[in-house]
A = this chain, B = another copy of it.
Amino acid sequence: MQFYVDGFRGGDPDQKDAAPTRRDYSAHAPLPEKVDVLIAGSGPAGLCLAAQLAQFPEISTMIVERDPRNIEKGKADGINTRTMEMFQAFGFAEAAKRETYWVNQTNFWMPDPANPKHIKRVGRVQDVADDSSEMPHVLINQARLHQLFLDVMKNAPTRLEPDYSWQVVDLTIDTDTDDHPVTVTLEDTGVNWGMRKTVRCNYVVGCDGARSNVRTAIGGELQGDAAHQAWGVMDILANTDFPDVRQKCLIASKTEGNVLILPREGGYLFRMYVELDKLNENERVAQRNLTQDHMIAAANRIMAPYTIDVKEVVWWSIYEIGHRMTNRFDDVPPEEAATRTPRVFTAGDACHTHSPKAGQGMNVSMQDTFNLGWKLIHVLTGRAEPSLLHTYSSERWAEAKRLVDTDHQWARVMSAPPGESELDGAGMPRIQKHFIENLEFTGGLAVKYETSNLTSGAAHQALATGQEIGRRFHSAPVVRVSDAMQMQLGHVAQADARWRLYAFAGAGDVGQNGSAMRALCDWLETDPKSPVVKYTCAGEDIDAVLDVRAVFQPTFDQLDYGAMPSLLKPLKGKLGLQDHEKVFCTDHKGVGDIYDMRGIDRAQGCMILVRPDQYIAHILPLDGTADLAEFFDAILIPASGN
């Protein structure tokens, strides 16, 4: 964590100085008439976006929520490793790690061949494969996750808070103006129930869940198949003689159906998903009159000979599997894409829904708005043209499609009764095999954006074989040279809409005069074509747009920190203080060599350009400056005065 760059200030370093222009949230202060961005819904998608925008006082953001307050319990609970990597950038991964349940193992239980009425453990799988991510896969109450984002918002310069008890009922877009073209009608759902207000917005993001009004307003419709199966879900405090109750378990009985156990935060609570039997065509879940008692009874039948003695049902719900999505995530029909740019977006459940079993819904919803956030910030701060916003729908739609397909398949595997072939104990059960094959996917690590303006072709992929262009930057251990700190390189990334350039030095390169690293740094710092020179405004820190970090092959004690290129020791902030956190090297204590772990070319080194949302945009040789310049020229607007 870096702080005090503008002078000492006591107190919590997570709390940023409040912006003088921030909105007044006191009890009777009026709602704004106009905002840059209105977010509908304070679920994971909405909050993840709000937490990004809240850092920018120059952007006015409003987040409205129909409910009167944050939820208290229920809904989703799975945070995959990819989402935890994102949380690191928001600053609360450590907090999340501390209070969550960690899914270390997933176990598989099947009918015992010797006594098919009883279940038996048939397999164990390490849930997060070694070095697939530096983060754990965790489970926590969705309400608590919301709170972590709300804290980030509250600590941001804007002190952003949701406007509770307001719902978006409708919106209109005036395509003839660029001045707050979207007019949103809000309706009070609280004390002044039914009272309406309008707010004019530059952009609207519908994070308003599966029954999204924003989606409806832009003519979107969830399409796909609502599979005919119902699962009951309950969060319970219970005792059991089932020995694996503190591990994630997929349990298939011979005739009574399936159960999924997800242990939860705090050491006592756990969630059970219980398969309720097949629904008839057109039969709605709500009509079934299923209750928590049905679920508890079913769980006990499925888990025989073990029993579950429920002490408290904290929350329960009946959940019907539906894999559906809209055909685009913004308001611009394909035929108009060339002539106008999007003003309204949908994200999360508003545009794609999933079965809860693979634990993706909440994760992918946040990843949607992590993709959108920096793009909106770029456009609203004048760094990029609004056409950048087209890429949100194209990138996230393809991802959602892949997700819905995979998820669909997985739900089928989960629900099928265990085949006879799986009962003989020979080999690995089909479900376990499928689970292992899908681990990278369920971890959120398989996401890969196609080649586009934002994602280069793979011409230089060979320079870093373990860092695939289009996929997330995969962190690895390094040591910070200035203070010999062992750390994860990926943890320098913050959710601050900045690009990051990781420059890996080749053999013999310690930043000395004449070295490739020196030449790159000097070019970046001074050449008129350099993105640092071209896109950084006067008065901004030199790393405001592109944050350059260098990695060297020797250990920290073999490097001359004082002799590093000046770009790597920039003077920043109001006081012009030197930033000491730009220079890294391989670990001297043997925890792993980042060059080996990520297939970085030792002879040549390379540059890895990473987008603000942690996805790899480009890989280039250290002298690939022309290509780097060209890449940014297609995205960014030169800073005024340049």
Residues of A within 8 A of B (CB): 1-5, 7-8, 10-13, 72-73, 94-95, 97-99, 101-102, 104-105, 124, 141, 143-144, 147, 235, 237-239, 241-247, 263, 265-269, 311-312, 314, 482-486, 557, 560-562, 571, 575-581
Contacts and interface: CB of A to CB of B under 8 A. Distances in A.
Contacts of A95: 94-95
Given A141-B10, A312-B575, A577-B239, A4 B266 contact: yes
Nearest to A560: B243
A268 to B, nearest CB: 5
Given A8-B235, A238-B577, A268-B579, 8 more contacts: A5-B266, A8-B314, A10-B141, A104-B483, A105-B484, A244-B561, A247-B482, A247-B483
A99 B266 contact: no
Contacts of A484: 104-105, 247
B4 A268 contact: yes
Contacts of A482: 245-247
A11 B147 contact: yes
Contacts of A312: 7-8, 575
Contact of A485 (B104, B268, B483, B560): B104
B10 A483 contact: no
The 5 A-B residue pairs whose C-beta atoms are closest, nearest first, are: A243-B562, A246-B482, A246-B483, A3-B266, A2-B267
B13 A99 contact: yes
A494 B266 CA distance: 15
Contact of A571 (B104, B239, B576): B239
Contacts of A486: 104
Contacts of A266: 1-5, 13
A265 B483 contact: no
Contacts of A4: 237, 265-269
Nearest to A561: B243
A1 B243 contact: no
A571 B484 CA distance: 46
Contacts of A94: 94-95, 97-98
Q: Is the interface of A mostly helix, strand, loop or mixed?
A: loop
A243 B481 CA distance: 10
A246 B571 contact: no
B8 A269 contact: yes
Contacts of A73: 8, 10
A131 B102 CA distance: 25
Chain B CB within 10 Å — which of A98, A141, A267 has the most?
A267
Contact of A267 (B235, B243, B244, B581): B581
A237 B266 CA distance: 42
A98 B268 CA distance: 28
A633 B266 CA distance: 34
Contacts of A8: 73, 235, 237, 269, 312, 314
A517 B267 CA distance: 24
A620 to B, nearest CB: 29
A96 to B, nearest CB: 11
Contacts of A13: 99, 265-266
A458 to B, nearest CB: 34
Contacts of A238: 577
A353 to B, nearest CB: 25
A74 B2 CA distance: 19
Nearest to A72: B10
Nearest to A130: B589
Nearest to A481: B246
Contacts of A3: 265-268
Contacts of A578: 239, 268
Contacts of A72: 10
Contacts of A239: 571, 576-578
A251 to B, nearest CB: 15
A557 B124 contact: yes
A14 B519 CA distance: 51
A581 B486 CA distance: 30
Nearest to A479: B104
A581 B579 CA distance: 44
B237 A268 contact: no
Contacts of A147: 11-12
Contacts of A101: 483
Contacts of A571: 239
Nearest to A579: B267
Contacts of A243: 560-562
B143 A483 contact: no
A243 B482 CA distance: 8
A7 B485 contact: no
Contact of A575 (B237, B246, B263): B237
A483 B127 CA distance: 12
A241 B560 CA distance: 12
A260 to B, nearest CB: 16
Given A1-B99, A101-B483, A562-B241, A267 B580 contact: yes
B485 A98 contact: no
Nearest to A578: B239
7 contacts: A11-B147, A13-B99, A104-B486, A105-B483, A242-B562, A246-B580, A268-B578
A317 to B, nearest CB: 15
A245 B10 contact: no
A575 B311 contact: yes
A497 to B, nearest CB: 21
A4 B560 CA distance: 53
Contacts of A314: 8
Contacts of A579: 267-268
A144 to B, nearest CB: 7
Nearest to A269: B4
A375 B21 CA distance: 53
Nearest to A14: B99
